[in-house]
Amino acid sequence: MRILRRYRSFPRSVQLLLLNQLTINLGFYMLIPYLADHLSQGLGLSILLVGLILGVRNFSQQGMFLIGGSLADRFGYKPMIVAGCTLRTGGFALLGLVDNVPTLIIASAATGFAGALFNPAVRAYLARDSGDRRVEAFALFSVFYQTGILIGPLIGLALTGIDFSVTCLVAAGVFAVLTVLQVRALPPARGNEPPSGSETGGVLAQWRGIAANRGFLLFSIAMIGSYVLSYQVYLALPLQARTLVSTGTGSTVVVAAVFAVSGGVTIAAQMKVTAWCRARWGPGLSLGRGLAVLAAAFVPLLLAELLSWGFPALAGTVAGTTIGVGALLTAAAILALGTAVVFPFEMDTIVALSRDRLVATHYGFYNTICGIGILLGNLGTGWAMDIARSAGFAPAPWAVLITIGLLSAAALTALHRRGLLTVTTLASAAETSATTPADSVSAAVDDYPTAPITRYRSSFEPHSRNEPPTEPIRLVPAAPVQRPAHHLRMSAARGAERPFPPGREGLPEAPTATGPGARSDPRTPDGHPRPLPDSAFVLPGTAPRGGPERRSSRRR
């Protein structure tokens, strides 16, 4: 009921986006978990072709996130969401109706690219319309996301019992209804217009600008460890379940229990965990400590493997299997808890580091980097598990995963301490200025673009037609100075004290001119120096400038 009340407290567009994500995951996980078995067992394709078809789907989604995000920022969020749902409708229908490899590859690529179109757009749209409640909105988004993952496979299992083509057509129908719902009810929206500069140029200029965002790039790289660890619920944990329970039915039950525990923990604890972390840790610390929780998820598996390695008699026994399955389910629960800590603040940090500009493109860039990390991490994890089992030391992969999590946690903590995970805009600095000194406010604005400084030219340079001339610098009179007594001198001619001219107080007196042509008073009545006579510039024995001697010398 509490989740439902929070759901209703958001604007209509946010409510529709949350329902949208639940339905997307419902239709997707209704079909995808059973696709490999359909291709290999139902159609009789080789493992190589099955891997190719699934790999094309994964690449067309993870590798195209950046393009999907750029399109969402260029054309708006709603068109990309509608296009993605439409494309996935056709792709799922083809997967259930065709049996030739080229068409299956096209259908698989269409389903993957559909996710690349609507995923960045949905997240950017949600961040835009949730406003100051962005963290809470993404926490609720995670609840709806996991609910779809939890319910979808159960519906798909029942439909696949009839026929896999029925599953595909029902999933396609779900996305068709979702497409109509987006067209009719979702308001049009697009992100904030970027300021003048490279971000208004072409797509490549926008990508270069995002790659030059140092804080965002370092954050994306540091978060690769989060995705490598959390995605082990789809790789390492199912493989471990099949190692512990050799029978096909038993391993399937254990894998289903792993997914049920993961989804159940997220649905039950997400909102409470987010509120607790936000109140006590804040976004920056929550990210680093959430990564530490993800790393701790593999400690039970490490301890169980060390126990089996130290006591070989436990292997294959009921006690050994019980310990292993218990460690596996505990790891799944802690992984879900760590993901619940990280995910809302992760999504919020991406928006903050983008400075609310080109948000969908930033999401696409971020997901592309993490997708590459997931690919490399899964390859490395699978290779490590094979090597460890062949070498007889099964605990090694879990120790490697724990190390990856701790390194990522340390990197995120360092970024937080250096202030690279927060960006203070001019608006927030203005709000702070009422209680903060001006110097602190100006120092808080991090790398915000400023207007160019006006160029001043000398008054001797010719001015352009459209540029107004500048005025010369004006002398500002100094404050009056109390003159000491010794700065006053008596004038014998006037019989009264005559002060120094304004601005000359405290300076030594100029010597009185003597000789022919010298005046008794070197200053004018208003206090300014008198000009020297021409005779002062004539050397002895020479005529004044322009005199006869100079003219006669020219004639010679």
Which of 350, 374, 371, 379 is CA-nearest to residue 61? 371
Residue 339 in tokens: 């993901």
The confidence score (pLDDT) of residue 462 equals 46
Residue ranges of the alpha helices (H) in 63-100? 65-75, 77-97
Distance (Å, whole) CA 108 – CA 53: 6
The confidence score (pLDDT) of residue 551 equals 46
The confidence score (pLDDT) of residue 91 equals 92
Which of 87, 299, 58 is CA-nearest to residue 172? 87
SS3 for 432-445 is: HCCCCCHHHHHHHC
pTM over 0.75: no
Distance (Å, whole) CA 61 – CA 364: 10
φ, ψ (nearest 5 deg) of residue 479: -65, 145
Residue ranges of the alpha helices (H) in 245-358? 248-280, 282-296, 299-310, 318-353
Residue 109 in tokens: 């690529």
Query: Block means of pLDDT (10 residues each) for the chain, length 556 residues?
Result: 84 91 90 83 81 83 89 92 93 89 91 92 92 91 91 86 89 92 87 54 85 92 92 84 77 84 90 92 91 94 86 77 90 94 93 90 91 82 78 83 93 91 53 42 40 42 49 50 48 46 49 50 60 54 51 44
Residue 93 in tokens: 């229908």
The confidence score (pLDDT) of residue 80 equals 93
Q: Are 85 and 78 in contact (CB under 8 A)?
A: no
The confidence score (pLDDT) of residue 442 equals 40
The confidence score (pLDDT) of residue 452 equals 42
Residue 108 in tokens: 């698989």
- How much helix, strand and coil, in percent to the nearest 5, is found in the chain? 70, 0, 30
Q: Where are the domains of the chain?
A: 1-188, 208-423
Distance (Å, whole) CA 453 – CA 203: 28
Per CATH, 1-188 and 208-423 having the same topology is answered yes
Q: Does domain 208-423 have CATH number 3.30.1490.100?
A: no
Fold of 1-188: Growth Hormone; Chain: A; (1.20.1250)
Displacement of CA 245 from its chain's centroid (Å): 42
The confidence score (pLDDT) of residue 330 equals 94
CA distance to 10, 143, 216, 427, per residue, from 132 (Å): 11, 19, 21, 14
CA distance to 486, 506, 525, per residue, from 501 (Å): 15, 11, 10
